[in-house]
Amino acid sequence: MVLKEQPLRADSFRRVASVIVSVLLLAGCASGGPAGEGRWPEGTAGVVPAEIARLNEHLGQLAERLRAGLVQVRVRRAEAPAGEGSEPVLPDEPRSASGSGFLIREDGLVVTNAHVVSDATRIQVRLQDGRRFEGKVIGKDTRVDLALVKVEGVRGLPVLSLGDSNRLRVGEFVLALGHPFGLEQTVSLGIVSRKGPPLQVAAPGFDFIQTDASVNPGNSGGPLVNMAGEVVGVNSMAARNGSIGFAIPVNLVKSLLPQLIEKGKVEWGWLGVGIDEVSDEDLAKLGLKESRGVVVRRVMPGEPAEKGGLRPNDVVLAVDGTRVDAPRDLQRIIATAPVGKIVKLTIVRGGQEADLAVTVGPYREPVVRPASPPGPHP
């Protein structure tokens, strides 16, 4: 007898296919193949060394606690009108930008950088909880790149504590907080790499805090914090790739706050001289016994140094008995001296020591000449 092949019905085909797929899946799971084929290895709750676990917990709590006092500073700058018939103006600086800052008083006093709020026609301060307030610059100093912004009509805001930057040591852990690239609050961890002159020499002889904690555009004005949660610096500048950052030491900030609050500016002392280190050639030429002090290379006409009798090639050894070993020492001493104070300069002139009485004058910002009109852009 010949058996005829019966056609497989649709429902029977689906049942058979389902069985085949199930068998193949089970076979794949039980194959015990190498990692990366089929399934991936699942992590297990590993044991973190106790010291690392404590550090992780401390950093997490610290970052969470500091966030409330961190603010974002948004600014709007005036549009530069193009003259009739002139080339269209393509400004080098953006007309709107943002930086960072932090609260130091419950009534809305914010510390930030001067370059963040420079030429701003409108300032908006955004708090961690999302609230936004209009801000006003009440004090600014471009030499140190420091500014104070006041938010009106608020009370009871969270503040950050100011520490002691003189106690900060190279190698210590620090956190850099801010809003880089306009992002939400970020925290980066690093160490104090160095304490010394910053990338720019505008600051009159003060040592800045160098750190490898990431400082990028938008971090400017944010706090640099030690492991006790105290502000030890104000992030101010960084290398182009963000690998090296510099912060204004908080002890310098605290010394300038009274003037910024009361006068809206800092009155720096000024002599009006061009100075340099003592070179080997200067020892014999100027009749010096040792290589110390600073050489006066130039005396500006009509300035306090000339009025006090200082001349080119004089070597300043001390100010009011405080030894001067390098140009930065003289810059720092004079810059922080009250305007109008008479200081005693101990100098060497022609191989002989002498004392001069010089009245400290006010530092004036250099006059910035207007830039030439921009040419056509491609």
pLDDT (tens digit, 9 = 90+) per residue, 327-358? 999 999 999 999 999 999 999 998 899 999 99
Contact (Cβ atoms closer than 8 angstroms) between residue 133 and residue 108 = yes
Tell me what the mean pLDDT of segment 98-113 comes to: 96
Question: Which residue among the candidates 115, 141, 179, 188 is catalytic per the annotation?
Answer: 115
Look at 175-184, 313-322, 367-376 and tell me which has the smallest mean pLDDT.
Answer: 367-376
* 158 or 96, higher pLDDT: 158
pLDDT of residue 229: 96
Tell me what the mean pLDDT of segment 153-182 comes to: 94
pLDDT of residue 107: 95
Torsion-angle region of 3 (φ positive above 0: left; ψ -120 to 50: alpha; else: beta): beta
Closest to 315 in 3D by CA, of 287, 281, 343: 287
**Helix ranges (DSSP H) in the chain:** 10-29, 50-66, 114-117, 250-262, 280-285, 304-307, 327-335
| Separation CA 61–CA 82 (nearest Å) | 52
pLDDT of residue 13: 43
Question: Which residue among the candidates 100, 141, 145, 329 is catalytic per the annotation?
Answer: 145
| Separation CA 158–CA 65 (nearest Å) | 10
Give start-end residues of each CATH 2.40.10.10 domain in the chain: 165-260
pTM beyond cutoff 0.85:
no
Active site residue 255: no
Residue-averaged pLDDT of the chain:
84
| Separation CA 212–CA 285 (nearest Å) | 43
Contact (Cβ atoms closer than 8 angstroms) between residue 95 and residue 120 = no
**Per-position DSSP letters for 165-197, written without gaps between them:** GGG--TT-EEEEEE-GGG-S-EEEEEEEEEEE-
pLDDT band at 31 (very low <50, low <70, confident <90, very high): very low
Name the CA dihedral angle for 322, 263, 196, 247, rounded to a multiple of 10 degrees.
160
Question: Which residue among the candidates 98, 100, 188, 220 is catalytic per the annotation?
Answer: 220
**Per-position DSSP letters for 26-78, written without gaps between them:** HHHHTS-PPTTSSS-PPP--PPPPHHHHHHHHHHHHHHHHHGGGEEEEEEEE-
Q: How far is CA 260 from the centre of its chain?
A: 19
* 180 or 13, higher pLDDT: 180
pLDDT of 268 higher than 50: yes
**Which residues touch 66 (CB under 8 Å, ≥6 apart)?**
160, 175, 177, 187, 223, 225, 229
pLDDT of 94 higher than 60: no
* 196 or 25, higher pLDDT: 196
pLDDT band at 18 (very low <50, low <70, confident <90, very high): low
pLDDT of 376 higher than 90: no
pLDDT of residue 79: 66
pLDDT band at 176 (very low <50, low <70, confident <90, very high): very high
The domain defined by 165-260 folds into Thrombin, subunit H (2.40.10)
Which CATH superfamily does the domain covering 269-362 fall into? PDZ domain (2.30.42.10)
Look at 7-11, 187-191, 247-251, 370-374 and tell me which has the smallest mean pLDDT.
Answer: 370-374
pLDDT of 214 higher than 90: no
Give start-end residues of each CATH 2.30.42.10 domain in the chain: 269-362
pLDDT of residue 378: 29
Active site residue 220: yes
pLDDT band at 291 (very low <50, low <70, confident <90, very high): confident
| Separation CA 344–CA 329 (nearest Å) | 15
How many CA atoms lie less than 13 Å away from 350 in the CB half-sphere?
Answer: 3
Look at 55-64, 70-79, 158-167 and tell me which has the smallest mean pLDDT.
Answer: 70-79
